[in-house]
Chains A and B, each alone.
Chain A
């Protein structure tokens, strides 16, 4: 084995171990904050696996989107509502666990089937494009994958408009249960202008 292949093998082993242990930690840990941070670690290791596969653009996009946006948002949300409260015990916890386990096992068997039936080996090593992949991804996005690309952007636009409607103060300025007006100004912003009304 040459040095390059040995290094690749060591990197692959470490990254897959981090992915597996991290993912288990995300599911099994009691503290939701730890789960969120571990999720970031899992996303980073997946980006590392992409790097090993010579897909540097996909790796950077993974870091930017999943770690930099999705995971930061999750942690941000957890910390904004960082309430220590005891959750109500659920009565039918056993049946719920059985259902979720069976759903997960079904998904796992589907993945295993994909793994076994797909032909993974490239026809020749020359087919890997490496650094050219950025250009190739762009070409695909604007030709044969144009419709999914546009549909995804419309979906994101809808989500954004929804978020703006939820956050607007004149739309949601009444308490849903009591019907009383609610002050939703930024806490850090003074209700009166600070400098204008001095005299």
Chain B
């Protein structure tokens, strides 16, 4: 399966052409994909914020942002600039160090998790062996940042919001991890690349969503809960908790929370599309199309073409899920905290355990279909 663009190799060869040693070429290469992914994440946030404004406006029969650029596309940039130049206020009775560290601790794990998001066979920052497990581990750091900012704000709404965030995150992490485990069981690997390759056999028919429908729904509900999106946005419920742990934050620190939550939403959508919707795979396998059109699959222009299709497919699937998440946000009511915990512990946890058990059984019974 070793085909597709290997940009790192070509880049290193290009630099070696100038007489640089391979180590220096590697050091020059290292920050490039990271910067690219950071830029991609931020642009993704801008697009999502615009979508959120436009779709919420449509759901409420308004027009939404209109004057900033065509159809208001510049509105999120204006929002970002506004947050950037706003005064950075630390409340007098707040704990300055923890107050500053909280939002940073919320944002860093989310951005680090982009390490494992593949857009193509070689189009990811690092194909680490522990792959998807890294994301589960990193996402468990986030509640510490939320608790920290909730405590440091010295405000009862913030503290309540922080505690709710931690309780919610702990509750929904378990079914999330169990549904990922079922996928890993079918793939025999934790690497995101292997997970996508396992689904690439027969196009749309071999996507995991058909083999793991329960896992897909459990994962999507848990991902929404981890992102604190409505119906599960109790930690920041504006009407009852003012804004939870964000109450006291202004300016860039608030922007970090804002960025973090939207990057997390996009990341979750990307991971759902990687785990269940075939990642960068086209609904009809690209190899079949190439064979049908009598094109050599290893020719450079075909490779560039398939890589672009892969990137477009990944982003398309992710944004379809983001669209569903936004629609859900503007059409569903918020659940109560006891309903939230009941749903997590009494419904999703047993269901995901049963799903894992059934997957293991099916894997033994039909090794061809469920990965042997």
* Chain A contacts to B: CB under 8 angstroms: 2-4, 33, 37, 40, 44, 56-57, 60-61, 63-64, 67-69, 71-73, 75-76, 79-80, 82, 130-132, 134, 186, 188-189
Report yes or no: A68 in contact with B338, Cβ–Cβ below 8 A.
no
A132 to B134, CA, bound (A): 15
Partner among B140, B148, B150, B159 whose Cβ is within 8 Å of the Cβ of A69? B140
Report yes or no: A3 in contact with B23, Cβ–Cβ below 8 A.
yes
Report yes or no: B190 in contact with A79, Cβ–Cβ below 8 A.
no
* Shortest distance from the beta carbon of B23 to any chain A beta carbon, whole Å: 5
Partner among A4, A67, A132 whose Cβ is within 8 Å of the Cβ of B140? A67
Q: Which of B141, B169, B173 has the most CB of A within 10 A?
A: B141
Given A2-B23, A72-B140, A79-B159: A134 and B147 within 8 A (CB)?
Answer: no
Report yes or no: B141 in contact with A68, Cβ–Cβ below 8 A.
yes
The DSSP consensus for interface residues of chain B is: helix
Q: List 26 A-B contacts (CB under 8 A).
A: A4-B23, A33-B151, A56-B128, A56-B129, A60-B133, A67-B144, A68-B173, A69-B170, A71-B144, A72-B140, A72-B143, A72-B144, A75-B144, A76-B163, A76-B166, A79-B150, A79-B151, A79-B159, A82-B151, A82-B159, A131-B129, A132-B129, A188-B336, A188-B338, A189-B336, A189-B337
Partner among B137, B169, B190 whose Cβ is within 8 Å of the Cβ of A64? B137
A130 to B128, CA, bound (A): 11
Report yes or no: A57 in contact with B140, Cβ–Cβ below 8 A.
no
Measured between beta carbons, the chain B residues less than 8 angstroms from A80 are 163
A189 to B128, CA, bound (A): 44
Partner among B137, B143, B169, B337 whose Cβ is within 8 Å of the Cβ of A60? B137
A71 to B148, CA, bound (A): 12
Measured between beta carbons, the chain A residues less than 8 angstroms from B293 are none
Report yes or no: B167 in contact with A76, Cβ–Cβ below 8 A.
yes
Report yes or no: B163 in contact with A79, Cβ–Cβ below 8 A.
yes
A73 to B159, CA, bound (A): 15
Measured between beta carbons, the chain B residues less than 8 angstroms from A79 are 147, 150-151, 159, 162-163
Measured between beta carbons, the chain B residues less than 8 angstroms from A73 are 170
Measured between beta carbons, the chain B residues less than 8 angstroms from A82 are 151, 159
* Shortest distance from the beta carbon of B196 to any chain A beta carbon, whole Å: 18
When C-beta atoms are compared, the residue in chain A nearest to B162 turns out to be A79
Measured between beta carbons, the chain B residues less than 8 angstroms from A2 are 23
Partner among A4, A60, A75 whose Cβ is within 8 Å of the Cβ of B130? A60
Ranked 7 nearest A-B pairs via Cβ: A68-B140, A131-B129, A60-B137, A64-B137, A63-B137, A189-B338, A56-B130
When C-beta atoms are compared, the residue in chain A nearest to B152 turns out to be A33
